[in-house]
Amino acid sequence: MLKQILRTLFLLLIGLLISACATNLAGRRQLMLVSENQAIEASKQAYVNTLKPFAEKGRIDSDPKLAALVQRITDRLIEQAEILRPETRNWDWSVKVIDDPDTVNAWCMAGGKMAIYTGLIHKLKATDDEIAQVMGHEIAHALLNHTAERMSVAMATQLGIGIYASRKNADPGKTALAAVAAQLAITLPNSRTSEAEADRIGIELAAKAGYDPRAAVSLWQKMAKVSGGAPPEFLSTHPSPKNREQALKKLVKKMMPYYLAAKQRQQGK
């Protein structure tokens, strides 16, 4: 009897998983048990919670010049993101510079909530073009719906475990969802497939915004060479897809025309 119930539940779960798929910007089918809107909602809370400890110490946008620079760069990227995915015009985009010289990291949560740490900018001596590549890559993760996808996978795993153990805790509350959203956006590694997608869309956003695609290659090279202490957080959350450097170099060739056209447009202004 119990075996039969488990079997039925298992089949139901499989049915749910199959019906809960959606296609992302890269044309890949994704598991979507958590909708993008749910991920965006959870990320709002996650954003506030994540920034709070830094805000309390006055470590958000504490260098106004740097904050303005990052804002200018991301504004241009957002303009391109909204062309690529028009519904993101409704997103409440936001970017903050976190004053944390030891942390080499940056992220963009679902719904366009972004941050970059001063450690990334200073330790890498990142140029504007390289900052644009980092943030383009992060925005791409959000455009590609990677947070909702990873929340869905986490939930499916939980559901599976829950059914197996006949527990009833498959319905996480709002606070739990916010915690999961933060964890997935900030601390847990993306899959290599997601990385390859974000590299491709990110470099395109940056090129169309007038940022040199060659900076994507130099950015990852610099990232790998960061010296002193543990490897950068950014590398642990953004694992290298197969042949990242070669793949990026191929993309650079494709993206140069977009970059040159954007440059010309900007100079004509």
Active site residue ranges: 138
Q: Which is nearer to Zn ion, 5 or 224 (CB)?
A: 224
Using the rule CB under 5 A, give the single segment among 37-45, 86-94, 122-130, 194-202 that binds Zn ion.
Answer: 194-202
Minimum distance between the CB of residue 196 and Zn ion, rounded to whole angstroms?
9
Using the rule CB under 5 A, give the single segment among 8-16, 55-63, 119-127, 186-194 that binds Zn ion.
Answer: 186-194
Q: Which is nearer to Zn ion, 151 or 262 (CB)?
A: 151
CA dist list (Å): 267 to 24, 126, 171, 210, 262: 34, 23, 54, 10, 9
Minimum distance between the CB of residue 29 and Zn ion, rounded to whole angstroms?
20
Question: Is the Cβ–Cβ distance between 23 and 30 less than 8 Å?
Answer: yes
56 vs 64: CA distance, rounded Å:
17
CA angle in degrees (0–180, nearest 5) for 256-258-264? 100
Minimum distance between the CB of residue 137 and Zn ion, rounded to whole angstroms?
6
Q: Does 146 bind Zn ion (CB under 5 A)?
A: no
Minimum distance between the CB of residue 260 and Zn ion, rounded to whole angstroms?
26
Using the rule CB under 5 A, give the single segment among 96-104, 198-206, 227-235, 245-253 that binds Zn ion.
Answer: 198-206
Question: For 97-125, b where at least 16 C-beta lie within 10 A, e where not — what string?
Answer: bbbbeebbbbbbbbbbbbbbbbbbbebbe
- The binding track of 215-254 with respect to Zn ion, each residue x by CB under 5 A or -, is -----------------------x----------------
Name every residue whose Cβ is closer than 8 Å to that of residue 186 and which is 6 or more positions away in sequence. 50, 105, 107, 237
Residue 181 tokens, joined: 């959203």
Of 198, 205, 219, 251, which one interacts with Zn ion (CB under 5 A)? 198
Q: What is the dihedral of CA 239, 121, 146, 92, to 10 degrees?
A: 180
Q: Which is nearer to Zn ion, 149 or 195 (CB)?
A: 195
Q: Which is nearer to Zn ion, 80 or 190 (CB)?
A: 190
Residue 193 tokens, joined: 């497939």
Which residue's C-beta sits nearest to Zn ion?
238
Minimum distance between the CB of residue 191 and Zn ion, rounded to whole angstroms?
10
Question: Is the Cβ–Cβ distance between 29 and 16 less than 8 Å?
Answer: no
Closest CA relative to residue 13, chosen from 162, 201, 192, 169 = 162
Q: Which is nearer to Zn ion, 129 or 195 (CB)?
A: 195
For Zn ion, the binding residues (CB under 5 A) are 190, 195, 198, 238
